[in-house]
Amino acid sequence: MRRLLFFLPFAVFGAVAGFGLWALTSGRDPNAFDSPVVGRDLPALALEPLADLPLLQTGEIGGGVQVVNVFASWCVPCVAEHPVLVSIAESGVPVHGIAYQDAPEDTLAFLDEHGNPYASVGRDAGRQVLELGLSGVPETFLVVDGAVAYHAAGPILGAPGDAFLAALDAAR
């Protein structure tokens, strides 16, 4: 019995190390996750208008390639990814924004300070965006002909951003 107790920590360590090695070599993208909305039509959300900006009607996003970004002025990663969204909009792809649980004046100040890449914007003061499978902000959705083709959780920078931009280029 003592020998078993002596070797137990080594066995546990070996199991944990083996699992870690398998996870590193499995070929699975560590930035990928299963989104409940990929492959489905973008849900119609009842978003509130933001000042005099064009109101995003998610149920009316139709043909072509478009991007929907969920952001907030209080979100530090949202500030970091904002230049990427501006670049996407400047390339001719319509970018739409959903301001999540943000005071209207704060959202407007954020857009004034960093630029407004959004063709339309809606406010979600409640929990509407949960229908998109939102886990936090920022999150970005690639919409092709009204259906969600790609869902990026987190800022579209680095490896996640490269994967999103590759999906965007493939959809064009």
Length of the chain: 172
Tokens for 71, please give them.
């952001």
Distances (CA, A) of 129 to 6, 19, 54, 61: 52, 35, 18, 15
Under the phi-then-psi rule, with left for phi > 0, alpha for psi from -120 to 50, and beta for the rest, what region is 133?
left
Beta carbons within 8 Å of 11's beta carbon, 6+ residues apart: none
Give the predicted TM-score (pTM) of the model: 0.81
Average the pLDDT over each of 7-11, 48-52, 155-159 and give the range with the smallest value.
7-11
CATH number assigned to the domain covering 35-171:
3.40.30.10
Per-residue model confidence as pLDDT tens digits over 99-157: 999 999 999 999 999 999 999 999 997 788 888 888 889 999 999 999 999 999 999 99
Per-domain residue ranges of the chain: 35-171
Per-residue model confidence as pLDDT tens digits over 11-27: 667 777 667 666 666 55
From CA 48, how far away is CA 129, in angstroms rounded?
Answer: 12
